[in-house]
Chains A and B, each alone.
Chain A
Amino acid sequence: MTWIVLLFLVLGVVFNIMGNLGVLVFPDVYTRLQASSTCGTTAVFSVFIASMLITGLSVMTAKILVITLFFLVSSPVAAHIVARYAWNKDMVVWRKFHD
């Protein structure tokens, strides 16, 4: 059990660091949003699963489960709100020039 908890914690840390790096490195608003929404959500979700495995069967587990479900609903909707605002503002999509 300890090793599974440590695996999820390490996954959370790695995804978190890489998501931050992606937000700093990528060239465009939309690509930064991709890095933030995918990697950030997965990092926080892994940390929540590790916390649920640590607390076992108790009231705290049910509360963390509610927080996890609400986070799974709210995070993509927040990303979609930001992306829709940027798209309605006619921001140009960055493209690589071929050949």
Chain B
Amino acid sequence: MDLHRKWKIVRVVLTTFYLMAGWVLFTAALDPLMLGLGLILSFFVSLLTFKLFIEKNEVDFHSLLPRIHYGVFYLLLVIYKMYVASFKMLWLIIRGRINPRVVHFRTRLKSDIARVALTSSITLTPGTVTLSLDDDHLIVHWLDAKTTHSRYAGELVKGVFERLLKRIWI
């Protein structure tokens, strides 16, 4: 049994596990019949879709199983920052004086899923929307911009998120 086939089996088993968790949560039935039906169905679906779910050249262990305790802390931080940003946005809408700019900066994160998480959290927080993500180059539209200097703006926009995401996914 060569390496490719072993890696395929691991991918199918992991996809079946994730799909089974979703099945149990949504049927909320613990009979043996329903569990067996869910296992068979999620096995067939995972045979069809495991190539999309986990990439062939995904080598990093932490991108399959992220560190959950840092993840919960990160979620709480994003929710707190989201509320603060919404109150700032409320003040901007009432006052009506905005100063929008476009800033460019780079990120140091390596894996793809960490970059996508960074993009989503930048879109949720203070008056910034990610316009384009090209490898490690981010273009961000910033309402009420303080500066246009690249490194300083990057520190202001993504500072805490990047340091925490490096611990979750590398």
Give the interface residue-count category, chain B. 20 to 34
From residue A70, how far is it (CB to closest CB) to chain B in Å?
A: 11
Q: For this complex, into which size category does the number of interface residues on chain A fall?
A: 35 or more
Find out whether the CB atom of B100 lies under 8 angstroms from the CB atom of A62.
no
Is the pair A33, B120 in contact by a Cβ cutoff of 8 Å? no
A39 contacts B90, C-beta separation under 8 Å: yes
> Is B28 located at the chain interface by the 8 A CB criterion?
yes
B83 touches A83 (CB 8 A): no
Q: Is residue B82 within 8 Å, beta carbon to beta carbon, of the partner chain?
A: yes
Say whether A22 contacts B25, CB under 8 Å. Answer: no
Q: How far does the Cβ of A88 sit from chain B's closest Cβ, in whole Å?
A: 8
| Chain B residues closer than 8 Å to A35, beta-carbon distance | 89, 93
Mark each residue of chain A from 33 to 44: 1 if its CB lies under 8 Å from any CB of chain B, else 0.
111011101100
Whether the pair A93, B89 counts as a contact (CB closer than 8 A) is no
Q: Give the number of A-B contacts (CB < 8 Å).
A: 95
**Closest chain B residue to A29, Cβ basis:** B141
Residues in A neighbouring B82, C-beta threshold 8 A: 38, 41-42, 45
Indicate if the CB atoms of A28 and B100 lie closer than 8 Å. Answer: yes
- Cβ-based interface call for B63 (8 A): no
Q: Is the CB of B26 within 8 A of A79?
A: no
**Bound complex: CA of A65 vs CA of B113, how far in Å?**
22
Inter-chain CA distance A26–B25, complex, in Å, is 42
Flag whether A4 is at the interface (Cβ < 8 A): no
**B-side contacts of A76, CB under 8 Å:** 119-121, 123-124
Kindly state the separation between the CA atoms of A59 and B25 in the bound complex, as whole angstroms.
9
Interface check A13, CB cutoff 8 A: no
Residues of B within 8 Å of A14, CB to CB, are 90
CB atoms of A95 and B101 under 8 A apart: yes
Q: List 19 A-B contacts (CB under 8 A).
A: A18-B93, A21-B93, A25-B93, A34-B89, A34-B127, A34-B129, A38-B127, A39-B93, A59-B28, A62-B28, A73-B120, A76-B120, A79-B123, A80-B133, A83-B130, A84-B131, A87-B131, A95-B101, A96-B99
Q: Residues of B at under 8 Å CB distance from A? A: 25-26, 28, 79, 82-83, 85-86, 89-90, 93-94, 96, 98-102, 119-121, 123-124, 127-133, 139, 141, 143
